[in-house]
Amino acid sequence: MNSIERRNQSILGMWLMICCVVLLILVVVGGATRLTGSGLSMVEWQPVTGFIPPMNEETWMQEFDAYRASPEYQKLNYGMSLAEFKVIYWWEFGHRLLARGLGLVFALPLVWFWWRGIIPPRLRWPLVGLLVLGGLQGYMGWYMVQSGLVDIPRVSPYRLAAHLTLALIIFAIMFRLAMGLLWPAPPRREASRWRGWTMALLALASITIVSGAFVAGLHAGLVYNTFPLMAGRWIPDGILGLEPMWRNFFENTATVQFTHRVLALTTLAVTLITWFRVWKREADPVIRRTFHVLAAVAMGQVTLGIATLLMYVPVTLGTIHQGGAVILLSAILSADYVVSRQRDRVPETAHSGRLAAT
């Protein structure tokens, strides 16, 4: 690879990493929008003109009148003042504006890089696929909001989970592509002994995050606000009270919170076991440092989750916890990338000799 190709790869990698940061901020703002009860304040979807906020009292009243005709106002916020409406409106408007901003941050450089011939052929279809997924994500956001504009003023937990899942898929693809461009290395000739662990962690963390979306959608974090017991029991009553049984894992608040707890603690346990094995047996300092970071992030995320639960889901902690899920996903993807790539042989040291002896 010549210097120009390497420079182009670095440019593309930095661009994708910037897109990842913007998406992380978008997920955090989305969490704050949900926790402040702002998600249903805008009852129309205007993909082209929706970036223009109300500019005067007349347009504000038009938006407010549209909201007052919605089920959320009629059943939950009846009597809300215009000043109070503006607060929740700005949260949702900011969330949608940031989503549009991410679309521009991705699409405009993509066109420019393509025209300049910077994008190698192997990346063209993956990047076009990401653009399509981004457009689908915008529609999914509106599809989610629509579910709360009917009789029950609450978005469907299923649609909320789908919306978050698609965002994480987009993030994971962009992040993995960015790592490959910024730190290129050929795949290992033989499977790493840690690859199975990182793939298991990726699966566990993904399922845990999706289960967290159902916790959020059902407001299940506002019940059983003790830890480790739930209402004085390890397994709460009514955990399988719905029929058919599968509905409990998506619609029963007790089951959903219990499942999320178990998944989170299982993910932490597997992370710490993996970290301990790497620490005892791996000589590569890059791999060791990567798993040190992963273990710290996992412990921090679980601690945040417990604190959020015990404090009845304050906006700040709940928002940070949602962002922490993306950070944890990033740490696992980084660990998986490091262990799956071929690196120069680590020189034998006294430390590596001690590891081999163990």
348: pLDDT strictly greater than 80: no
Whole-prediction pTM value?
0.93
355: pLDDT strictly greater than 70: no
Q: What is the pLDDT of residue 344?
A: 60
95-99, 267-271, 350-354: segment of lowest average pLDDT: 350-354
43: pLDDT strictly greater than 80: yes
Residue-wise pLDDT tens digits, 131-174: 999 999 999 999 999 999 988 888 999 999 999 999 999 999 99
Which candidate, 34, 75, 41, places its Cα nearest to that of 313? Answer: 34
Q: What is the pLDDT of residue 353?
A: 45
Please state the φ and ψ torsions of residue 229, each to the nearest 5 degrees: -80, 155
| Band of residue 345 on the pLDDT scale cut at 50, 70, 90 | low
Rounded Cα distance, 120 and 1, in Å = 12
275: pLDDT strictly greater than 60: yes
If one compares 46 and 86, the residue with the highest pLDDT of the two is: 86
| Band of residue 4 on the pLDDT scale cut at 50, 70, 90 | confident
39: pLDDT strictly greater than 70: yes
Please state the φ and ψ torsions of residue 87, each to the nearest 5 degrees: -65, -50
Contacts 24+ apart (CB under 8 A), 350-358: 351/283, 352/283, 355/280, 355/281, 355/282, 355/283, 356/283, 358/280, 358/281
Where exactly are the structural domains of the chain?
Answer: 1-184, 190-358
What's the average model confidence in pLDDT over 257-271?
98
- From first CA to last CA, the distance across the chain in angstroms is 40
Rounded Cα distance, 265 and 309, in Å = 14
Q: Given CA atoms 306, 36, 142, 129 in this order, what sign does their dihedral have? A: negative
Q: What is the pLDDT of residue 352?
A: 46
